[in-house]
Structure 1
Amino acid sequence: MDVKAIAAQLRKPVGDLGKEVGMKMNEGNLHINQYTIAALEIKSHQQILEIGMGNGFFVKDILSSAPAVKYTGCDFSETMVAEARSLNTRFIQKRQAEFIAAASDELPLFDALFDTVFTVNTLYFWEHPQKELAEIRRVLKPGGKIVIAIRPASVMQALPFVQYGFRLYEKEDVAALLEQNGFGRIHVIERPEPAGKMETLIVRAAKI
């Protein structure tokens, strides 16, 4: 598969190849997901929205973080939504989790519904991030929290596929973007990953 095709599948996994990409992302993104879930500081009875959950492999870790947590996953890949529903059938049956197919700039969700909205490795693909952030503000409760996790531009720029549809950010860029779109109390977490070549950047902020 050529580099451009890899970039397209990372943005929106489709079909059998997309399923394989989803599984590989679970492996490659293990640490960034673990660090992000810890940064959510989940409390009991919270409503959590994840934008771009892939095949939902890490949902079990979110739901086990505190009692009576409810999770919603949103992805614009029908392939990933189907995979996530299959992988998390028991949580769906218990009404602890639901998965919806939708674009992140048009969330089919009620206002002021979630305590926390988070996303891992999707910011690169937001063509008009102010639209996504406006939707996130809309569905967050007053004072609700947004958590964005990416790998910084200094790491990503070495990867050949980022020339196709990726917008890269450093921590200052993400913090400024959030501040310009109605978020405050910004906190930046930087964590090296065990492989040594990757780095996790997590930016947490509150709706103001």
Structure 2
Amino acid sequence: MRILEKYPTHTMLNTMFRPLRFLSLQARKPTGLFGQYVMTRIFNSVNADLNSFVKETLGLKINDNILEIGFGPGRLINDMAGIITEGVIEGIDFSDTMLSQASKLNKYYISIGTVKLQKGECSNLPYDNETFDKLCSVNTLYFWNEPDKYFQEMFRVLKNGGKIVIGFRDAKQMKLLNLSKDIFNTYSLDEVIDLLSNSGFSNSHIVKKNGKQLRSYCAVAIKPMAQ
């Protein structure tokens, strides 16, 4: 009964009668015990191939300063932290549950100053202009209601010549999952390229990799050097 008491009545009803919508809401912003235990396991499993692909595509250097948008349970940050020995990896996520989970996973790297995590809105990033060498995000694009604003903010905090890598699944694959359309905004490959280009990024392109279950895509672009 104690577990049930953690969930509001409306949440329990959603779970029982509208499970796909409940799962969609949890995917967007994990909360409570379901977010802590179930969504953490789902993210770590479903995002494993894409996390690895994004890490590979970033081309990390030991002194990079990196930002991950929507770090979830913190698995990608943990994987990158073993490489970044002279730089810093920062992360921002608006879920208290994911901040707690990621902080536990990255406790050691936080203690030595390699990793810094905080709660916040990614549409209004709390960082100075031109702070990061590289920026990444994995499977969060679908939840950005104003994607132009997100990409403009990412452009702002990235250094001139900096690299952005957005890991995602395209609209065709996402629609097969039958998740709530009012929560998941799906994009074609061309639409993601347009979002990057319209925000000022150059050399925008897509790289792809076949996974065990789904095909992974990375949208890659560079912030131009100042003229």
Q: Which TM-score bucket, shorter chain as reference?
A: over 0.9
- Distance in 1 separating the partners of 2:123 and 2:182: 21
Match of 1:175 among 193, 213, 219: 193
Partner of 2:215: 199
- Distance in 1 separating the partners of 2:205 and 2:56: 14
Over the aligned positions, Cα root-mean-square deviation in angstroms equals 1.2
Partner of 1:4: 21
- Distance in 2 separating the partners of 1:169 and 1:51: 18
Partner of 1:45: 63
Maintained 8 Å contact 1:47/1:70: yes
AA aligned opposite 1:15? G
Deviations 1:62-100 (A, max 9, x none): 122353231001100011111111111110110000101
Maintained 8 Å contact 1:7/1:164: no
Is 2:54 the partner of 1:64? no
AA aligned opposite 1:8? L
Partner of 1:140: 158
Is 2:100 the partner of 1:85? no
Maintained 8 Å contact 2:88/2:115: yes
Moved over 4 A (4+): none
Partner of 2:42: 24
SS in 1 for 2:176: coil
- Distance in 1 separating the partners of 2:87 and 2:44: 22
**TM-score, normalised via structure 1 length:** 0.95
Partner of 2:12: none
Tell me how far 1:163 sits from its aligned partner: 2.0
Maintained 8 Å contact 1:189/1:202: yes
- Distance in 2 separating the partners of 1:155 and 1:162: 14
Which structure 1 segments of 5+ residues have no match? none
AA aligned opposite 1:16? L
- Distance in 2 separating the partners of 1:23 and 1:69: 29
Partner of 1:15: 32
- Distance in 2 separating the partners of 1:3 and 1:154: 18
Identical columns (%): 33
Partner of 1:73: 91
Partner of 2:11: none
- Distance in 2 separating the partners of 1:37 and 1:190: 13
**Structure with the greater alpha carbon radius of gyration:** 2
Maintained 8 Å contact 1:156/1:162: no
Maintained 8 Å contact 1:26/1:57: yes
- Distance in 2 separating the partners of 1:144 and 1:132: 16
Q: 1:95 to 1:67 in 2, by over 3 A?
A: closer
Which structure 2 segments of 5+ residues have no match? 1-14
Partner of 2:6: none
Tell me how far 1:169 sits from its aligned partner: 1.0
AA aligned opposite 1:79? T
Count of aligned pairs between the two proteins: 206
